């Protein structure tokens, strides 16, 4: 029997892995059983954080290299958005014993900014000490996808953002980083999402059900 409690679920992975799709499916599957949840994303999730997201995306599409943000400025903007998101949405929801489902969280910062852009991890860790406020995921799903499947999905997207335009080598490196982060962690589940079908949806719900004791 499900007992209402704060629970934080995160979906991580590279572009085209299906995490946004599967996070929405999880919300619907919980709703079918009368369990409400909040779906949110990073960067973004609140009005102020979404404004910062727009700023980051706009910068990326600027063709003039001299006008682009420095990697540390870029990272600080992501962390500023996270601060707003945690303070104004995630933390209040968890205090009310809500289930929060988030499309990306801190592992994306490590995979993309640390492993990908070579930002010092200690720089991010020091800021996280102040902004995380004890918030950490109860479950993290890392969706592993083949380059062929991710390419096909990205091609079908009507609107593109900064994450959809990196070379394949960057995505391969990022995916390996996510797998490295997840290694030997009990609450991390690495699932193959190349097919992204109902079997994956059922598997995700089955794992969540065990943690939440849903029958």
CATH for the 7-212 domain, from 1.10.287.3510, 3.90.320.10, 3.40.50.300, 3.20.20.70:
3.40.50.300
Measured in whole angstroms, how far is the alpha carbon of residue 12 from the centre of its chain?
4
| Pairwise CA distance, residues 179 & 157, whole Å | 25
Domain boundaries, the chain: 7-212
Q: For the chain, which residues score pLDDT lower than 50?
A: none
Alpha helices (H) along 71-137: 71-85, 91-95, 106-108, 121-131
Contact 190, 179 (CB under 8 A): yes
Burial-class residue 9 by CB neighbours within 10 Å (0-12, 13-18, 19+).
buried
**Which candidate, 109, 108, 104, places its Cα nearest to that of 127?**
109
Percent of the chain with pLDDT over 90: 69
Measured in whole angstroms, how far is the alpha carbon of residue 212 from the centre of its chain?
21
Q: What pLDDT score does 210 carry?
A: 95
């Amino acid at each position: 029997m499900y007992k209402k409690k704060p629970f934080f679920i995160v979906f991580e992975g590279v572009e085209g892995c299906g995490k946004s799709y599967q996070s929405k499916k999880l919300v619907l599957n919980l709703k079918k059983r009368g369990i409400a949840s909040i779906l949110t994303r990073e960067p973004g999730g609140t009005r102020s954080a979404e404004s910062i997201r727009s700023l980051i995306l706009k910068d990326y599409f600027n063709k003039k290299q001299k006008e682009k943000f420095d990697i540390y400025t870029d990272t600080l903007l992501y962390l500023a958005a996270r601060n707003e998101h945690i303070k104004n949405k995630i933390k209040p929801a968890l205090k009310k014993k809500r289930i929060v489902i988030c499309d990306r969280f801190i592992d994306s910062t490590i995979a993309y900014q640390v492993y990908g852009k070579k930002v010092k991890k200690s720089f991010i860790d020091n800021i996280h000490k102040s902004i995380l406020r004890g918030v950490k995921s109860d479950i993290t799903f890392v969706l592993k996808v083949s380059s062929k499947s991710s390419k096909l999905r990205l091609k079908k997207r009507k609107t593109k953002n900064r994450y959809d335009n990196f070379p394949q080598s960057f995505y391969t490196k990022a995916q390996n980083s996510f797998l490295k982060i997840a290694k030997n962690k009990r609450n991390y589940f690495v699932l193959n999402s190349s097919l992204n079908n109902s079997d994956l949806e059922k598997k995700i719900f089955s794992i969540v059900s065990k943690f939440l004791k849903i029958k």
